Amino acid sequence: MKESIPNLDGTSRIYAVFGDPVAQVQTPHLINPIFAAADCNIYAVPFHVTPKYFAATWDIFAVLSNLAGIGVTVPHKVAAAARCTTLTPTAKAVGAVNSIQRGEDGSMHGALFDGIGFIHGLGEARAALGGARVLMVGAGGAGRAIAYALVEEGVGRLSLLDLDSASVAFTRDMVNAVIGRDVAFAAGPSDGWDYDVIINASPIGIKGNARFPVPENEIRSQMLVADIASLKDETALLRAARNAGAATSDGNDMLRAQIRLIAGFAAGLSAGTSLC
């Protein structure tokens, strides 16, 4: 143990990661090297926590003074938000969190980094968002946080497409309330495909046989195309975008940016500040 974790000692703090299942989570192996590089004596450890025991587990961990925070993945993001002392504006609007910072007094501060992680992950392509006409497919889960971040970046119009009309309505109303005007709309069948930015925030491309709704011949070189579903394999959407010469971003861009933000939050920095 000393050879694999040489700096683990009585002053070490834990960043617990709750999920059900939890075997698939990438946070520990991605974030621990960031902690080490920044000389932070914090270690991320996964815990398999079922919904039945989520509240009890939360209560136990929340009273541990050497807890740096808690990361949550499915299905705990909404339940965790309800138990936080404070929420960032994004987390409050969406009603979910994916990272919680424990204060010295035991208070629990929740944040949601899906949206800002997506924005930071775009790198220089982020500049394309100002005034852009954006189509986002997928209006639930991470899509809501991304929608919030997009309107903060000043997109001109956000069209939302999802099989669940209730998810579209929730996301539309949420971001329009945030910006104070109508910038988000449900995408209609007669709208066409004349967009500057296309985002896949749905499982299309990695799950099932569904095809992305935008025809490949409608993707142009001037577009920015992002697909957060693309982690291990290139999706058909990204392949078409690259063939067309469009700028692209995949789920790994978002994940890497988000992990750095989560690391900063766990280390006690303000939400939205990268550790390195």
Residues with Cβ < 8 Å from 157, sequence gap 6 or more?
133, 134, 183, 184, 185
Q: Which element (helix H / strand E) includes 150?
A: helix 142-152
Catalytic residue among 2, 52, 77, 92: 77
State phi, psi for 100 to the nearest 5 degrees.
Answer: -130, 130
Q: How distant, in Å, are the alpha carbons of 10, 60, 61, 103, 169 from that of 65?
A: 12, 11, 9, 9, 41
Active site residue 207: no
Strand partners, 135: 159, 198
Residue 251's φ and ψ, nearest 5 degrees, are -65, -25
Active site residues: 77
